Every structure is written in C-alpha cells, then in structure tokens.
C-alpha cells in the first residue's frame, strides 16, 4: 500500500467511526425515549455500563451528548464533522441553548478541554474554593519517576537496635500524602505548562507534584539560608573552549532567542515543528563531524523526538540504540545538556 493510500484509508476509517458514533448516540436517545433500558437496568447509565460495556465516565458523556442531540441536532452534526469532540460537547451541554449553541460551539471548535471548561465557567460560574491541604492516608514512598533523589535519611542511630536490622534494607518510612488545592490565574497554568515542557527529559510522565517539587528545589538551592551556609565554595574550572561540547551560556541564550523557544525542525513540506516539549540544543553538523558548540549558526533547538530522529538519520538506528543503552535515562537539567552524540 502506498503512503498516500495508507493515510487516506486511515482518515476514512476515522470518518466512518465518527459517523457510527453519532448514529449510536441517536439510537441511545431513542432507547431512552422508549424506556428500553428498564428491561435490564435501573438507569440509562447502568444500562450503558452493563449492556454496552462502557466505563462510567464514557457512559456519562454519551448520555449527556445524546440528550443534547435531541434538544440541538446541530451539535451532533458538528460532532460528525469532527468540529468538536464528544468530551467537549459533554462539558458544554449544560450551558447550550438554541440561542447560543451556534456561537458557543463555533468558539469551542478545536479547543482543548481546559479552554472548553473555561467557556463553561463563563456560563456557569462557580464560587472560588479556598486553599486547602487535606492529609490523605500514609503510605510508603512511591518509586520516583525521575532521577534518583537523595533518600530520606531516617537512620538516626538508636543504640538499642539489633545489629541485624542495621545490615538489612533500611525500613521504608511511611509518608503522609497531602491533597493540595488552590485557585489560580490562568497565567500560572501557562507557566506550569512551560516548565513541564522544559522538564520533559527529566520527567517524561510528569505529574504536577514533580513539577512543583522541582521548582521549589530550584528556589531553595539558590535562596535557602541553611544551604548557603554549608554550600561548598569551590568552583569547577571552565574548560578552555576549542572543540568542545560545552555550549557557552550566551550562545544557548541566543539560540533560544532566535528559535523562539521552539523546535526548529522542518518537515518535508517545509512546515516547522514548533514543539516546546523536551527541547534540546542540537548540533546541525554533528559534533563528531566538526560541529561547533560556540557558534549560534551551527546550533538549533530541537524537540526530543526530532533530535533523536536526526541522530538516527545520521548515525543509524543501530548505533543510536547502542548509545542509548550506554547512557540510560540520563536526566538533564537544562535543554542544552543533551546534544546529539555527534
Ligand atoms: Zn520537533
């Protein structure tokens, strides 16, 4: 099958799936109208879970949208045309009326869930809850999803402990998990997303907890008075720069500024990638082939995917697989720390 034929058949498959999904929602509304779910369940929701094998949240979304389709058939037409997702329709359904549907759905077209929730909040504002810290049950520390952190050092020696205990694995100290919630401006969310993208190497599956902890650690490293007292004052001498992987800070900044903090990789059709996820500074001519680290024009920003793709293109997948095995999951603090192995 040619590439074009493959892409076309994939798109057609999804169009068909979408048509069938909408048809299914219309039938579900009719099943509800006739009360047919009463034959085997106590509610339409239970019917969807038991008889159709849906999860509770899928059932809830479909029920919202099938009822919406009865009130506003136009909404299902948009779903069928792929102008809006089922999830976004289910979020907006309580605030849609015959008067506002067209305008609101047009505005929501192509937006992510967060932006759609914001539209809903305009119609159905909720009072802001206060900041809260709720202790949850204690449990043993979770395996870190990131670079190893200094293990908590609970090993305060107690004279009466049996010797065997000292030799075996240190006991895991339960930690209390706390649910933190607060309301913030949208600009904070934007900053969080930016930091999350920058930390993509270190925390590929970052949770908010990882991002927050990293930001606080960074701040405390610089400003914690206790730490300042004990911090060693020795500095590592900078390598004299001839042909070196070391990229001077000014050069990094300039590459970052020129590429506007986005991946500069270009696809075959000339479009630029522009991802902000896990950016790295990439040697356009590989370092091993003479690429310079001190010349802005020889460097560019590349997202992790495109840096790896370029490296595989130049060095081959086999060599890159070997390289990755010898440098497993190295965590990097700055986008520049991981350049192509060139
Ligand atoms: Zn990219």
- d(CA 299, ligand 1 centre) in Å: 14
Question: pLDDT for 233-287, tens place per residue?
Answer: 444 445 545 778 888 888 999 999 999 989 999 888 888 888 888 888 999 888 8
The alpha carbon of 81 and the centre of ligand 1 are apart by a number of angstroms equal to 29
**Are the C-beta atoms of 85 and 17 separated by less than 8 Å?**
no
Q: Which two tokens stand for residue 118?
A: 């914001």
Residues 42-83: tens digit of each pLDDT: 999 999 999 999 999 999 999 999 999 999 999 999 999 999
What spacing in Å lies between the alpha carbon of 186 and ligand 1's midpoint? 26
d(CA 320, CA 308): 8
- The model's pTM is 0.52
Q: For residue range 203-220, list pLDDT tens digits in order.
A: 888 888 888 998 998 888
Confidence of residue 37 (pLDDT cuts 50, 70, 90): very high
Query: What is the Å distance from ligand 1's center to 242 Cα?
Result: 29
Q: What would the mean pLDDT of 89-107 be, rounded to a whole number? A: 94
Distance 284 CA to ligand 1 centre (A): 14
Better pLDDT: 226 or 119: 119
| Ligand 1 center–CA 198 separation, angstroms | 13
Cα 276 to middle of ligand 1, angstroms: 8
pLDDT value at position 116?
A: 94
305 CA from centroid of ligand 1 (Å): 6
Going from the Cα of 86 to the center of ligand 1, the distance in angstroms, rounded, reads: 29
With beta carbons less than 8 A apart as the criterion, state whether 328 and 288 touch. Answer: no
Measured in Å, residue 278 CA sits from the centre of ligand 1 at 9
285-338 confidence digits (pLDDT tens):
888 888 888 899 999 999 988 888 888 888 888 888 887 777 654 333 333 333
How far does the centroid of ligand 1 lie from the alpha carbon of residue 256, in Å?
Answer: 14
Centre of ligand 1 to C-alpha 281, Å, is: 12
Q: How many CB atoms lie within 10 A of CB 47?
A: 22
Name the residue among 136, 109, 107, 132 with its Cα closest to residue 122. 107
pLDDT attached to residue 148: 42
**pLDDT given at position 13:** 95
User: In which band, very low, low, confident or very high, does the pLDDT at 230 lie, cut at 50, 70 and 90?
Assistant: low
pLDDT the model gives residue 231: 60
pLDDT at 205: 82
95-102 mean pLDDT:
94
111-125 pLDDT tens trace:
999 999 999 999 987
Alpha carbon 115 to its chain's center:
16
Q: Measuring CA to CA, how many Å separate 150 from each of 73, 74, 144?
A: 58, 57, 11
What is the distance in A from the centroid of ligand 1 to the CA of 77? 34
d(CA 329, CA 308): 14
Q: How far apart are the CA of 74 and the centre of ligand 1, in A? A: 37
**Average pLDDT for 23-34:** 97
DSSP 303-329: -HHHHHHHHHHHH-HHHHHHHHHHSTT
> So what's the pLDDT on residue 31?
97
pLDDT value of residue 169? 56
> Which residues crowd ion ligand 1, with CB under 5 Å?
263, 265, 273, 275, 303, 306
Q: Report how far ligand 1's centroid is from the alpha carbon of 301 (Å).
A: 8
CA of 67 to the centre of ligand 1 (A): 41
| Distance in Å, CA 341 to ligand 1 centroid | 17
CA of 275 to the centre of ligand 1 (A): 5
pLDDT in tens, 139-164: 655 544 444 444 433 333 333 344 44
Summary count for the chain: helices (H), strands (E): 14, 4
């Amino acid at each position: 099958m040619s590439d074009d034929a493959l892409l076309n058949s994939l798109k057609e498959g999804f169009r068909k799936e979408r048509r069938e999904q909408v048809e299914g929602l219309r039938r579900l509304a009719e099943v509800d109208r006739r009360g047919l779910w009463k034959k085997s369940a106590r509610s339409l929701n239970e019917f969807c879970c038991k008889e159709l094998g849906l999860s509770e949240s899928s059932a809830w979304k479909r029920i919202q949208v099938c009822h919406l389709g009865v009130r506003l058939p136009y909404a299902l037409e948009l779903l069928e045309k792929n102008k809006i997702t089922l999830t976004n329709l289910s979020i907006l359904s309580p605030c849609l009326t015959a008067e506002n549907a067209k305008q609101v759905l047009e505005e929501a077209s192509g937006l992510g869930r967060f932006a759609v929730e914001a539209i809903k909040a305009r119609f159905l504002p909720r009072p802001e809850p206060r900041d809260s810290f709720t202790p949850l049950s204690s449990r043993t520390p979770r395996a870190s999803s990131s670079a190893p952190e200094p293990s908590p050092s609970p090993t305060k020696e107690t004279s009466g402990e049996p010797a065997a205990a000292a030799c075996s694995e240190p006991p895991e100290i339960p930690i209390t998990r706390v649910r933190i919630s607060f309301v913030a401006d949208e600009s904070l969310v934007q900053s969080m997303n930016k930091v999350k993208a920058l930390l993509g190497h270190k925390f590929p599956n970052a949770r908010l907890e990882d991002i927050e902890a990293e930001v606080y650690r960074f701040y405390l490293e610089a400003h914690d008075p206790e730490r300042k007292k004990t911090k060693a004052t020795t500095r590592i001498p900078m390598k004299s720069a001839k042909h070196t992987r070391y990229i001077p800070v000014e050069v990094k900044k300039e590459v970052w500024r020129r590429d506007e903090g986005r991946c500069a990789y270009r696809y075959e059709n000339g479009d630029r990638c522009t991802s902000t996820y896990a950016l790295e500074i990439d040697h356009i001519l590989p370092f091993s082939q003479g690429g310079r680290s001190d010349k802005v024009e020889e460097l560019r920003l590349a997202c992790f995917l495109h840096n790896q793709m370029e490296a595989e293109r130049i060095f081959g997948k086999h060599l890159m697989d070997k390289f990755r095995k010898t440098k497993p999951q190295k965590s990097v603090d700055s986008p520049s720390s991981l350049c192509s192995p060139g």
